[in-house]
Structure 1
Amino acid sequence: MKIKTIQIFFVAGFLIFVSLKTFSQPTGQAIDTWIWVSSAPAAAASGVAVCATDSDVYVFKGGSNTFWKYSPSTDSWIWLSSAPAVTGTGSDLVWTGGDFIYATRGAFTNEFWEYHISGDSWTVKQSLPVNVSSGCSLAWAGGNYIYAIQGEGTDFYMYDITQNVWLSTTPTLLSVGGECELAWDGGTNLYVYRDWGTTIFYRYDLTTYSWATVAGWPWGTSTSGIGASLIWNRVSGTGNNLFGLRGADSPHFARYCITHSSWNCTLDDLPYSDPADTPIGVGSARGQRLACIGDYIYCFGGTSPTTGVGSTDMLRYRWRDVDPPGKVISFVAETGINGGEINLSWVCPGNDNYLGNLPSGSTFYIQYSSMTEGVVFSTSSPQNVYEIWIPTGPVVQGSTVYYTIGGLQENDTYYFRIWVRDNAGNWSEISNGATAWAMYTTDFTPPDAITDFEALPITQDEQITLKWTSPGDDGSLGGLTGAYLIQYASHTTIDTVVWSTSNAQVVISTANVQPGSTQYYTITLSGGTTYYFRIWARDEAYNYSTISNAATMYLGIYPPDAITDLTATLWNSTVGAVMLQWTAPVDPPSGGEVSSYIIRYATWNFSDADFDNVNRVRINLTPKSPSQKEFVVVTGLPSDQTIYFRIKSVDSV
């Protein structure tokens, strides 16, 4: 996979066009993991330096004029033309996006070189204004300039590639130490560890030539040390990150999210915040160790656990995974050996297509249906399917995976599809289809009949609660998996009703309900009539119990109690104002408060027949609990007349 990022921006008053072509080779390696790749021909020494082009990693061994190229595509090392002189502390390499790499020699000199990639040749260029020290670091910012930190000081320079001249620019805020490392962020900023026994992290603005201190540090009070390194992952947008080694013979590795200005950020799209540490410590030999190509970061020359000095190790870290697992092409469904079961099997693809084992945190995702029409198998908008998510990993690529689905409708045919999602969230393509029918059982033993079916006393308007004791799955034995079926009829239909499981209006699914357990079900019905109920139990093999005993209940209509103590008195001699008082009534059958009140009045003694035809009092009153006193003041009434009031309470029905 090749990803091309194009950026256009202003730096130092110049319009810069940058084409960054990032090469990503699927390897099967899991995201956020380190592995060893082919070791270098010799161990790293002080003066080691690493940089990368779109396809290869270039390495100064350090302490010599040895110069190598590591090819990720072939996992091999190639000897290149030797550097013009022995490199030492303060050497560094930087690629400028084309056919050239630039280098400081280090070794406390000011020598500066250019390497011609296609010609495999070196050219001595204009020397730096000062001798460099440990901590010297180079960064290319996408245009005509290379930036250089002197190391062990505040000096900061920019090199004009076209004119072959060095220019001074704004010094760092404080001296940077011998373990600093400079990195471009792909935009208008450079970043650097200050070192010098501190946890300071600096940012340089290419448009204003100014330095600022960046908040935060990923390693607490632990400062950077020999081997400290910093690299940009060469991606724009939300994936824009710097990755850094602390050095000091530690394995500490962190990432800085440029978008959110945060170390080990939790706000971006990557599935990890704090990246995995290196499998060995990095230190011992001074120099930059990191290079980035596509989804991978390479680290050369860790500290040997046996000798305590630089090693030949070359490590590879996968910071991003955009390569999906392969499509499952050997998906098989077979009828199981137990009732309602189908056995599935498939060959596990790789993390990247068919490369690498499927890592921990991955998922097998299965969809199935017994329908033949209206079914959509999809990871985004499935329709009329059941879903099974199987967290998994690690699973060896090419190994056979088995899974049994139970609880299916016996003897029905089911259709299956499967996808694989890796731990980076990449989805495979949909698998081939797999089809099988669910095994049926030879269970012919029905549940026992329910013999204590009853309707409980009414406690709520328009609701009847039914109660019974559950039988077993086989007679009185075993947890009942299946359903209860309830049929009911009113007094108007009881003479013509046919009691049958096929006429049941209510089906209540069950799963391993233990025999002897008490069950309840509340049904909502209209009041003012008698209801008659029967119930059956059914097991998963569709064996039905015989019909239960009868349960009967009259469901009445229960208006609130009448208010019998309404009084009316003048309200503080206010003209046209009367205070009404009464006792809050009970709302049967629940015994709770009513929902509202309706108050009406007239200048004549009206009856209930006229209640809806006279004036209504507009009130906003929340009824109190029964037996508590209610009162309301009615204003705007006609004066010098006798007013007659009547009140009704209203329940929720």
Structure 2
Amino acid sequence: MRKSILFSTMTCLFMMIVIGSFFVSNHDASALGTKLTLTPAMVTNETGYGDATMLVDEQTTAGDPMNGTGGSPTTYWDPGFQTGHTPAYAYIDLGQSYNLTAIYLRDYTNSGDFIVYAGSPGSWTQLFTDPLSTYPTWNAHTVSVQTRYVRFQKTSATANVSEVVIYGTQASDTTAPAAISNLAVGSPTSSSLALSWTAPGDDGNTGTATSYDIRYSTSFITSANWSSATPVSGEPSPAAAGTAQSMTVSGLSASTTYYFAMKTNDEVPNVSGLSNVSSGTTSGTATSQKLTLTTSMVTNESGYGDATMLVDEQVIAGDPLNGTGGSPTTYWDPGFQTGHTPAFAYIDLGQSYNLTSIYLRDYTNSGDFIVYTGSPGSWTQLFTDPLTSYPTWNPHTVSTQTRYVRFQKTSPTANTSEIVLYGTQASSGSDTTAPSAISNLAAASPTSSSLSLSWTAPGDDGTTGTAASYDIRYSTSTITSANWASATQISGEPAPSAAGTSQSMTVGGLSASTTYYFAIKTSDEASNISSLSNVANATTSSSGSSTLPVITNLHDSRTVANRFYVTLSWTAPAYDGTISTSATATPFDLRYSTSPITEANWNNATQAPFEPLLVQTSDFGTTKSMAVSGLSAGTSYYFAMKTIDNAGHSSAISNVVNASTTSTFSCTYSIPQGVATMYYGTSGTNDNSNIYLNAQPGDVVCLTAGNYGLIKLSNFTGTNDNPIIFINSGGLANFQSTGSYGFKILGSSFFRLTGSGSASYAKGIKIGALTTGAPALTIAGYSTNYEVDHLEIDNANSSGSQGIALKTDPDSCGFVDRNYFTQMNTSVHDNYIHNTGVEGIYIGGSHYSTSFPIGMACDGNSSDGLETLYEHSLHGVRVYNNVTDSTGWDGIQVGSATYDVEIHHNTVTNYATLNATDQRSGIQINPGTTGKLYNNWIDEGTAGHGQGINNQSRGNQVIFNNVILHTDYQGIYSKDMYDATNPAYDHSPIYIVNNTFINPGSYALQFDNVQNYGSLFGNNIVIKSSSNPNPYVNPGSTITEVTNLESTNIADAHFVNAGANNYHLSVDLSGTDMSIYGVTTDYDGVARPNGSTYDIGAYEH
């Protein structure tokens, strides 16, 4: 098994800062040290956008600007202009501490603030701000600071520095490791106690220390008596700062209280201060008793059957240890359905006991029954009973202290009709175990006077149980244990929830445009106090005229309610510079829910796609509206919105609107069978083949239930707030064509084609094209702004064409060329596509990085060469909740979709059945495409071939929470499709995180993206039973691998039931926090983390 680990970020570097003049033109060069060696490998791009190594990639060209020989470097870090890409942060790790004396920045912009900090990751102090107003020059800044890390902030996309040069002298190491503050003692036996703690760093809480000195005594340990305490042997080596560590100390006397403390050494050695002192008592020889068990103590983790039957007959069970066991007969039956076993349940005894015996009533003679102890989320197996002696009491001698006992039925027949436990109550001395320190405190959602905090609740004892209270404080400077008392205490904190629960609160009364730091301590009922949490910081928004405006007049603007959508209108804010114009990034975040929306539950509401844009300043202050579609019929919804600036900051919540859809609909027009094949949305003269409907925005065009041949709809034009609806009526509308297409829509905009018109049919429109090369559904001819849902596509022909084809090819003189047409806001969801000749779903072109393969002599003169055409872009794409099966080529293909793309919750099986070269993938992402690809189930099945995902995107992409099974070739094959002349190509990274790969034919990941910088492969589970499970990375690519499980043994992944394709985790498999990439839930929608740490793979435990 291979597990790649990224060292955790390091905090709290001791430093002394005296800042000199921020900009100087005259200085004594000899007093300012020597130029330090900087390399791209030293750079960490915190924000992840662009290539931050360009800050130091031209050190030779940069020369020695302090001594008058500075050169002219030209490459700079460009995180892009997209919303949320700035402010952007990166830092340099110098490898050891230096006394910095000067920092030179090459001004390459003449526009925008560039801010420099010193400190350590998670704890920074600003040194200076350079306004970059003297392009092209070297800007000199004298500083006096001892640090190992230097951080840089680009406040805007135009704040460009083409190189950084740093001067200083090497500092001597005088900083000791931090004193450990959370040493804990537990798990007593008669001769041992277990210790646990969090590793400090080499310098404070940064780096990795050298050794531990752990000692114990039967009296309290102080600095004065430290030397007389007994040293422990066999201590582990220190791990990276922030890592949880533990060891068991043996050879102790029974029934004895021991005190433990420790010190930490670095390589000098500098020695830390004394840790906290923790005590524990070894167990004695008290007489075991039968414990009282009730059905209310049982938690059924799997949810199937009645697990309380494990303890529902305690009186009948009697006392088997002493020979008076009875014959209980009821047992926990989770059922024989796939996925119902293995089944898990646990008992909470209410407090800790020293267990000595566990008796199981064998009621099956078949199947393993496994018993564990520990706590929810962290279990240790005690024993396995094969249940081979029915009907008897099976005794098991144990020696463990626990509050929780867990039981696993490995199969439906592993039946135990009752459980009896024996033991003694654990020491009744005072509770000395504090709650664990919170490690994921976050601050967000700024307004001019408030910030929202979120965190995961710790336990009463470590991460078990429920704590008593929180103490939350804030300050305008970073918070440490030393200055905790001087930080401002918040009032109104929530009471702690059960361990592992997500909690939040909003802190009000803050000042505008101010950075605040927050930290928490947690107390239990015995007033044990946790260590200090991580320190989170955020900045409130500006006050006055530049405060992000709040929408106050959001309203339902429909004159009559309908079944399909709710049209909302509001007044866009007046232009004041806080919100920028953009042709691609919306300044609105509109959400809806079936319950009232508040700031507290905002993140749980569903975001509506394709909110309107503010392209030019004249758009500000005008009325905006949009129809929110994809809603359920006859349902009441709540709507609210926020405004967003170009840095991703959001306003306070708008007024909340309640509006409903109706249960029924009326047809404006009905299209019967056999009357005509061409229908127009315009006015005209009808004949036998052509019908003109003169359709208006908001009209409903019904497709009467029955059988049709081919049909074509042309020139229907709705509006953003009143789309035209095409819907089946009265049952199934079945289109089976023997022509060159099945169902075609041309030259139309703002419409919805939906098969949701009949409660009897989940997919109420069925389309088939039976002719060789004929696509089933085509939407083309400049069509834009449309939705396609609840269709069944059955091409029924292995030599057919696409199931759904949504694009317009360049056809004459460049009028569909990229410069003239963009397909906007395409939504495809809840469709079933199967038995297609080629792709199941084909959206956008495949040649974004090259010219269209067919040129045309549009000027009528072939002698001067053919004009070059380029396929159009797509802005706004949603592909979700679709099922594709048995497609001749790719299941889903999306290309040329350059902005606002999400492909999620699709099931793709038995793809590429024809095994055609270059047409073999479950999902193919074609050139030009960006966005999110997540929560998809991709299974090649028995008939399919190829890769799970073929990725040819241009970057700026996150691929997460996908389950990819049994591929012939790569799980994900990602490659460059780079065109240096394409202005949209910005070398943005690709993040591939929290996916589950099962038995890929070659590599789980083959990464050939030399032109995408700063990519990541992290938190993935790769199981490949046949050979090496490691990914292949082109040597020229820059991709970081972190906390992946890559193994040939599927047992290492601890899946619940891999044989039944149940890849949920049965234990915690801790990974890295990926929330910065938008990974905040798992495949099932469960919040990440569901506990104290993020799990790896597609599922959170």
Relative contact order higher in (CA < 8 Å, ≥ 6 apart): 1
For the pair shown, which has the larger CA radius of gyration, 1 or 2?
A: 1
By the TM > 0.5 criterion, same fold? Answer: no
Q: TM-score range by the shorter chain?
A: under 0.3
TM-score (norm 2): 0.15
